[in-house]
């Protein structure tokens, strides 16, 4: 646990994690959990990587729309496409979840799953975060990566349970977080099996939502994809509330954690008023439930991997 | 591979499996596949356990309907419920997929996921196969269990990809096959997150289909749940055809196998005309695609675990 030990400051959060891991891994102890049941789940946006000034997948969507615009002259007169092309983010935001889902569908369908994987990989190779000026896959939280490594070394199986698109995450999370594609639970669109004119079968991405893995959808996704209740869960927003409640409601020892974005200098500081990653109700209920709230500014010696270089 | 070696007779099928495993695990060889990508998928009904005289989950549904009938006097006049209660299997069969799905929904909803898991476990503990007079979880194919053990010993990750209900399989497949719940892909119904009057969150099973993981649904399920194309796939019926095609269409070395039920003495003999596990089109296309067809009678020294005792 040397890396976990060095990226987390001594304090209540680090102590709670170490205590929990010791309890569930001590053979013969009353809180012992067999390795097969050591399921740990992590939200992604705001928990494993940053989510400001906007969700990174939304930045992908906006970039894709601009790339695809020449093939879609009709977007010039159609909201919220028009607003995206004009850089009018207020109108985009005002279009609400329905508007943004429409943008997502327009950019996440009409190709095979293999083609989409390549589009994501190509974008990640060239796109840069507007403030850190680095690839998005570098704007990840080193202490959380070290925590996941520490858990895996103690027999845990780590999963991502994110509102983000599952096919947007799978191309890179193994390399960046050490989490294989089959341990990623996320939102998804409908895919359709087709045999092409060359006799080769493909999965076509259709412009329809299959599943939204957010809020009350997270326990549903955990049950559907993992089929076992986690004993350890980490989130950072109200969209993670039900995942934490579901984890907490199982028998035996449990750990529930929230990342609180408090470091305006090294990252961002936001919670109850934020458009992305709003943390309000979950922050209120955390103390009474003895959930661990991580204060990024105080608890983490380092935020991003590039700080260590 | 000692157990695999003893439950499979020497022959083309066994040789093809051993050759394939040697090729993909030989470091430096042209067919080498890194362990993380050694995904092996197995159908369940007819591939890992028997499916005659009817799918075992259908036997569960019929038993549940009889148990629940006193609370549903309306079933006496309602088809196909009436036919089930009268033991009129012809009328049940004539109600088709739509009729049987209705029976499934009536028995797989209206309770929490935890309650359903207990119902399945209790049924498996008491129900007996009508011909072998043993628990259904003993009517499993020892050579396939040995094959999965052999694959796992060679760095493969084994998954079930079945048309059966995912929540019907998860309670027992870890004990019987060594496959954990999170490596089971199957059909599912809608679940709904609710917080009960006691403040405890539950997932309620609703009477609506979420996903049918059969035929062209299998590649969709593999993509959705695993997110990586298998290099090894085993089925036994036309419902596995697209899964085998999807596996075959990837780059590099691939293994596709079919279990052919040819042993009328030790198990059953059926293929093109069978109501359950019909094997027709897949049997036709197997030779041209160099898929391995296992002849149960000739290729397996043992069929069920209890024969060894």
What pTM did the predictor assign?
A: 0.96
**Coil, helix or strand at residue B52:** coil
Range of lowest pLDDT (A158-162, A273-277, B116-120): A273-277
The number of residues in chain A equals 309
Residue A309 above 60 pLDDT?
no
Tens digit of each residue's pLDDT (9 = 90 or more) over A32-76 = 999 999 999 999 999 999 999 999 999 999 999 999 999 999 999
DSSP state of B200: -
**Coil, helix or strand at residue A2:** helix
Kindly give, in sequence order, each residue whose CB lies less than 8 Å from that of residue A309, ignoring residues fewer than 6 positions away.
none
Q: Are A288 and A57 in contact (CB under 8 A)?
A: no
CA distance B38 to B230: 7
Residue A288 above 80 pLDDT?
yes
Other Cβ atoms closer than 10 A to B135? 16
Cβ of A203 within 8 Å of Cβ of B223? The answer is yes
| Nearest CA-CA distance, residue B77 and chain A, Å | 35
CA distance B19 to B193: 48
Among B118, B166, B182, B233, the residue to mutate for chain A (most A Cβ within 10 A): B182
Tens digit of each residue's pLDDT (9 = 90 or more) over B230-276 = 999 999 999 999 999 999 999 999 999 999 999 999 999 999 999 89
- What would the two tokens of residue B245 be? 């095609």
| CA atoms within a 13 Å half-sphere pointing along the CA-CB vector of A54 | 14
Cβ of B219 within 8 Å of Cβ of A203? The answer is yes
Residue A296 above 70 pLDDT?
yes
CA distance A122 to B305: 50
**Coil, helix or strand at residue B101:** helix
| Nearest CA-CA distance, residue A133 and chain B, Å | 30
- What would the two tokens of residue A264 be? 């305006």
CA distance B232 to B144: 13
Q: Which residue has the tokens 């349970």?
A: A161
Among A182, A208, A228, A245, the residue to mutate for chain B (most B Cβ within 10 A): A182
Cβ of B195 within 8 Å of Cβ of A170? The answer is no
Tens digit of each residue's pLDDT (9 = 90 or more) over B27-83 = 999 999 999 999 999 999 999 999 999 999 999 999 999 999 999 999 999 999 999
Residues in B lying within 8 Å of A, measured between beta carbons: 36, 39, 113, 157, 159, 166-167, 170, 174, 180-184, 188, 191-193, 195, 200-201, 203, 210, 216-217, 219-220, 223-228, 242, 245-246, 249
Tens digit of each residue's pLDDT (9 = 90 or more) over A174-211 = 999 999 999 999 999 999 999 988 889 999 999 999 99
CA distance A216 to A218: 5
Q: How is A99-116 classified by DSSP, letter by letter?
A: HHHHHHHHHS-SSBHHHH
- Bridging pattern class, strands A201-211 and A184-195: antiparallel
Q: Are B239 and B43 in contact (CB under 8 A)?
A: yes
By Cβ distance, the residue of A227, A242, A246 closest to B182 is A227
């Amino acid at each position: 646990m040397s890396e976990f030990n060095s990226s987390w400051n001594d304090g209540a959060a680090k102590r709670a994690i170490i205590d929990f891991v010791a309890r569930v891994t001590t053979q013969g102890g009353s809180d012992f959990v067999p390795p097969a049941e050591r399921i740990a789940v992590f939200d992604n946006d705001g928990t494993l990587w940053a989510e400001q000034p906007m969700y990174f997948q939304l930045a992908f969507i906006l970039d894709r729309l601009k790339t695809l615009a020449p093939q879609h002259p009709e977007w010039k007169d159609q909201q919220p496409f028009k607003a995206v092309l004009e850089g009018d983010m207020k109108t985009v935001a005002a279009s609400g979840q329905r508007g943004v889902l429409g943008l997502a569908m327009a950019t996440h369908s009409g190709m095979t799953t293999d083609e989409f994987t390549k589009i994501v990989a190509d974008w990640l190779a060239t796109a840069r975060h507007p403030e850190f000026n680095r690839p998005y896959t570098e704007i990840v939280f080193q202490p959380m990566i070290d925590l996941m490594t520490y858990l895996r070394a103690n027999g845990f199986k780590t999963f991502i349970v994110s509102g983000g698109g599952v096919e947007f995450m799978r191309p890179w999370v193994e390399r960046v977080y050490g989490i294989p594609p089959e341990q990623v639970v996320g939102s998804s669109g409908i895919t359709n099996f087709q045999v092409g004119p060359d006799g080769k079968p493909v999965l076509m991405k259709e412009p329809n939502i299959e599943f939204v893995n957010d809020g009350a959808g997270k326990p549903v996704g955990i049950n559907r994809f993992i089929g076992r209740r986690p004993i350890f869960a980490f989130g950072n927003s109200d969209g993670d509330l039900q995942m934490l409640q579901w984890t907490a409601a199982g028998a035996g020892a449990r750990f529930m954690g929230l990342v609180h974005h408090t470091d305006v200098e090294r990252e961002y500081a936001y919670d109850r008023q934020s458009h992305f990653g709003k943390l309000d109700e979950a922050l209120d209920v955390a103390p009474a439930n003895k959930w661990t709230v991580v204060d990024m500014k105080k608890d983490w010696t380092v935020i991003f991997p590039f700080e260590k270089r």
